[in-house]
Structure 1
Amino acid sequence: MDGILEWFAALGTITAATLVALDRGRRTTGWGFVLFVVVSVSWIVSGIANDAASLVIQNGALLVVNMWGVWRYLLNPERVKLEDNSP
């Protein structure tokens, strides 16, 4: 089970968590969530390929949460307006 896909997903998850934890602003946090979306999809593909239903279910739920994070931090027009008006 530890192929290239799993290593990418594991290292990507660590990197995404680091970006979010750094709390360096909306853009950095938003890109952390983008990376979380990509690695969630990677984990889902890995789970399907390896018949690991729990991994698929977990990352399916995390995919929804991470897409919400992308919306909140990068795509939400109201949030973007607030950031543009900040000093």
Structure 2
Amino acid sequence: MATITMYSTRTCPFCVQAENLLARKGLAVNKILVDQNPDEFATMIARSARRSVPQIFIGERHVGGFTDLLALEQAGQLPQWLADAED
């Protein structure tokens, strides 16, 4: 199964929406709370070149935020991204 990592904060509604979308698909998320760890916030910025949350990765591939994840799902591309990450 593909590893899904989501950089998040405790109060981010888009993070909750992303986590719920993935949970409905039966997918586990490795959630990293960047508001509790400045080093992880720096890692998130280095990996994504973005400062907003959520930042979602499937394997090492950067999805983006919730709207990017939702667009993948609506376009039917999320299963392929998950499959590609398992290779």
**Fold shared, TM-score > 0.5 on shorter chain:** no
User: By percentage of residues, which structure has more helix?
Assistant: 1
Q: Which has the higher strand share?
A: 2
- Higher relative contact order structure (alpha carbons within 8 Å, sequence separation ≥ 6): 2
TM-score calculated relative to the size of structure 1: 0.28
Larger Cα-atom Rg: 1
Normalised to the residue count of structure 2, the TM-score between the two structures is 0.28
